[in-house]
Structure 1
């Protein structure tokens, strides 16, 4: 069940985000991996609106039903976001990271625009799903929850919260997946060396806070491509370039108490777990105009 849902997410994500296939193909070309399945997916992430019947409390039900465990809470005051991560039921599955816009913290004008769309949802849509039906869950995760916004509404939101604008158009679309670089062959198994490989192949990296985002304890290092611009079609047929999704990369260091273990004995539980608000705060900006303008 869970494998089917995750496979459906990744299939459509790869179809819609050119950098996914491009990164994978470059890795195969350079002999880092032989096939896509050689990549360990560190985590996948979703963005949501914090409004009644939607948001984290709704979306998380899908993953909790499939054995995920809700873990730490993160708060992003400047971006007006909250987020939680979810530990998988088994190590072969990715962690889940779900963020939520604190809609009530926005201006009255922005709140009115958001509610104009989200108020169309009269009941929690996940409650109507058969959570044991992988096809139904997969279809839901790729379905529009509200009508296509107008360009004017999108631009009003973007002026105040680029996160809000991204979600009003993309809904629950998968925001990114993450390559675990620490499990790649030597020469590519650190963020520093992998970033060099990416830039050699022409990928633009998010440099908000530096190209390498490092946790305070030094145990979690992350980087990300900058989302490519896509031509979006808004209500009434108007088109406009907006940021799509991106690819993230994570290096989780071995915890000090396991530093004595041989490399072949290192498993997921021996590495730094969880997330870091400071890192995530800058990773969010992979879809922000401050980054996308640099790579255009």
Structure 2
């Protein structure tokens, strides 16, 4: 493995430890003969959540991946969620795309801003600048370390009342928010999002139904669904232990672009399918960690 693959492998290894649904999905796919080995799954993209304050946010985290050959692509704005985001194309089509979102802290109330800054102001320089980006163990450790002190449950709850994205990120930091199984490359009968959702529900997985159980781009070429985030045991700085949203699993079907409809399956490559993301889809996928979904 090269350095980038080692970093991505470290992210996935710890993510799977925290998100039992990953192995539930993979086991179900093996049981039904969709795959023999986990390595057969194409990872469409992985996603991170960040906080838009000095020294942090997208401009900091993206440095890791741009250093390893990723290319910054389209910008997205989420007015309702108060977020900005970009996606990044990988240096090789076998690698996942990356989606990084950022909380627009200045769009929140004064109270919420004060809570966030009481934590993030502990970071006085861009932490990525202090890393040796060619040392995968160091990068892996950074992506799984706290950048600020553990929040109190009182602060977490106050943020959640205004932005569940803010509360999730203040506790979970840069832990991988989700990875995404490419559905379109699976065998017939499972390679469309509706079929795959039925398969998931048959195996007892709970799907995010915000905006419908699958979200479809206006051009009809990008369809996405996701599990509801599993709950994790969280210990807070004020001694409170509480179960909160962890991470989740996403599923994506990228359909062929109109000019490639006639290609035979054997000739189809990644560049023949719908690229990028869709703000309206992502807006609802974000809610996979929201109490409106996890409390159902």
Bin the TM-score by the shorter chain.
over 0.9
Answering whether residue 26 of structure 2 is matched by residue 30 of structure 1, we say no
Local SS of the residue matching 1:62 = helix
Partner of 1:243: 245
- Could you give the per-residue CA deviations for residues 87-134 of structure 1, whole angstroms, max 9, x where no partner exists? 000101000000000000000000000000000001100000001111
Partner of 1:176: 178
TM-score (norm 2): 0.99
Count of matched residue pairs = 294
Structure 2: runs of 5 or more not aligned? none
Q: How far, CA to CA, are the matches of 1:210 and 1:69 in structure 2?
A: 32
- Which segments of structure 1 move beyond 3 Å, counting only runs of 4 or more? none
Partner of 1:217: 219
Partner of 2:70: 68
**Which of 145, 152, 156 pairs up with 1:150?**
152
Residue 236 of structure 1 deviates from its aligned partner by 3.2
Q: How far, CA to CA, are the matches of 2:124 and 2:247 in structure 1?
A: 28
TM-score (norm 1): 0.99
Q: RMSD between aligned alpha carbons? A: 0.5
Instruction: Map 1:160-171; keep pairs closer than 5 Å.
Output: 160-171=162-173
Partner of 2:10: 8
Partner of 1:267: 269
Deviates more, 1:15-24 or 1:232-241: 232-241
Partner of 1:292: 294
Q: How far, CA to CA, are the matches of 1:260 and 1:23 in structure 2?
A: 32
Q: How far, CA to CA, are the matches of 2:46 and 2:276 in structure 1?
A: 13
Local SS of the residue matching 1:218 = coil
Residue 228 of structure 1 deviates from its aligned partner by 1.3
Local SS of the residue matching 2:154 = helix
